[in-house]
């Protein structure tokens, strides 16, 4: 039996520049994002089955005779990629309800990375985080045709508080976004996470965003430059710069595609700002899910009261990334 544990993620800056349409022809030679792994996880259990069937358990329960019969598309393609076609059981659990698709925390990519990690370990193979991310991108984008970027797969595979650069030649560099441990802790203390109460199908938003990249290229250039500015200011101890840039770039992001925000999200964000939040954003594609806010400690209780109708989620940063936590 093998069990993998893979973090979800919060993308702070640069989202949209991780689409190949953008970074392959970027004037900088890359796209760039700043992301943090979260201590909310996807768990995958893999075990040898007594017979030759394939059993897959999530919010559904499949027990089939052949790989082609597996309905869960990510798990099916992960089994195909690693070369397992029979006699296996795969169980998927998560810290968030598995039916909560579209919450903006990269749960689909965490599933893809986590199941690949577990299946490789089942076969006795060690795979690096970057290789796991690359394989997950292949499954989600090339095999399943999803119109998404590639930041999520790398963020959940590596964990930590990292700056990712997606180079025009297809390579990806991973460097710490914040080196100083105390600054990382102070920043985390100023971030608050609230659930909007709504989920959304991100595919329509992401498809529109992908199709409009050429039209929005200057805005994406701005988001790329913001990543470097934020990292530089954090190194100098200017944490409030994060709050100001979250507010500024959230207004840019809302212009990248329809549906990223709506009346309810705008009202929620205004309430947070009125009560002391310096900035924030909807995580992921937008339209619902989780709202991340930068709030000075002396204003957090006021924001908490203002957003009392929304569930607050405590979190910390997961610095380990996807890993195997049990092997027997």
Q: Which domains does the chain have, with CATH numbers?
A: 2-178+318-327 (3.30.230.10), 181-312 (3.30.70.890)
The structure tokens 């965003």 sit at: 209
**Does residue 192 carry a pLDDT above 70?**
yes
Rounded Cα–Cα distance for residues 56 and 75 (Å): 8
> Tens of pLDDT along 22-81?
999 999 999 999 999 999 999 999 999 999 999 999 988 999 999 999 999 999 999 999
- Cβ-proximal residues to 158 (8 Å cutoff; 6+ apart), any chain: 37, 129, 130, 133, 174, 321
pLDDT at 284: 80
Task: Report CA Rg, the chain.
Answer: 20
Tokens of 327: 């092997």
Q: Give the pTM.
A: 0.93
> Tens of pLDDT along 260-285?
788 999 999 999 999 999 999 999 86
> Tens of pLDDT along 225-236?
999 999 999 999
Q: What percent of the chain has pLDDT over 90?
A: 83
* Residue 293 CA: distances (Å) to CA of 75, 303, 311: 33, 10, 13
> CA triplet 181, 35, 42: central angle to 5 degrees?
100
Average pLDDT rounded to a whole number, residues 313-320: 96
> Tens of pLDDT along 87-143?
999 999 999 876 555 688 999 999 999 999 999 999 999 999 999 999 999 999 999
pLDDT at 260: 79
Strand-pairing partners, residue 41, are 7
């Amino acid at each position: 039996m093998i069990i993998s544990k893979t973090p979800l993620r919060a993308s702070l800056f640069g989202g949209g520049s991780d689409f190949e349409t953008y970074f392959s022809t970027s004037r900088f030679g890359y796209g760039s994002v700043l992301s943090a792994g979260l201590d909310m996880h996807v768990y995958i259990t893999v075990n040898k089955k007594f017979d030759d069937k394939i059993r897959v358990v999530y919010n559904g329960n499949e027990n089939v005779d052949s790989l082609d019969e597996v309905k869960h598309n990510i798990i099916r393609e992960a089994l195909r990629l690693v070369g397992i076609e029979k006699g296996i059981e795969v169980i998927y659990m998560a810290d968030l309800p598995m039916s909560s698709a579209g919450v903006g925390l990269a749960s689909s990519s965490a599933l893809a990375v986590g199941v690949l990690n577990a299946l490789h370990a089942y076969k006795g193979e060690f795979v690096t985080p970057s290789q796991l991310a690359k394989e997950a991108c292949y499954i989600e984008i090339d095999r399943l045709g999803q119109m998404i970027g590639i930041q999520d797969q790398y963020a959940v595979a590596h964990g930590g508080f990292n700056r990712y650069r997606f180079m025009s030649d297809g390579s990806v560099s991973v460097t710490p976004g914040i080196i100083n441990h105390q600054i990382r802790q102070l920043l985390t203390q100023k971030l608050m996470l609230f659930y909007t109460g709504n989920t959304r199908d991100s595919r329509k938003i992401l498809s529109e965003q992908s199709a409009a990249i050429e039209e929005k290229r200057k805005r994406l250039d701005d988001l790329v430059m913001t990543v470097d500015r934020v990292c530089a200011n954090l190194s100098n101890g200017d944490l409030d710069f994060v709050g100001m840039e979250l507010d500024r770039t959230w207004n840019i992001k809302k212009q990248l595609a329809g549906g990223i925000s709506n009346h309810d999200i705008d009202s929620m964000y205004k309430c947070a700002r009125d009560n002391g939040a310096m900035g924030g954003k909807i995580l992921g594609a937008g339209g619902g899910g989780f709202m991340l806010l930068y709030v000075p400690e002396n204003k957090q209780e006021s924001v908490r009261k203002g957003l009392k109708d929304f569930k607050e989620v405590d979190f910390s940063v997961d610095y380990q990334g996807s890993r195997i936590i049990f092997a027997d």
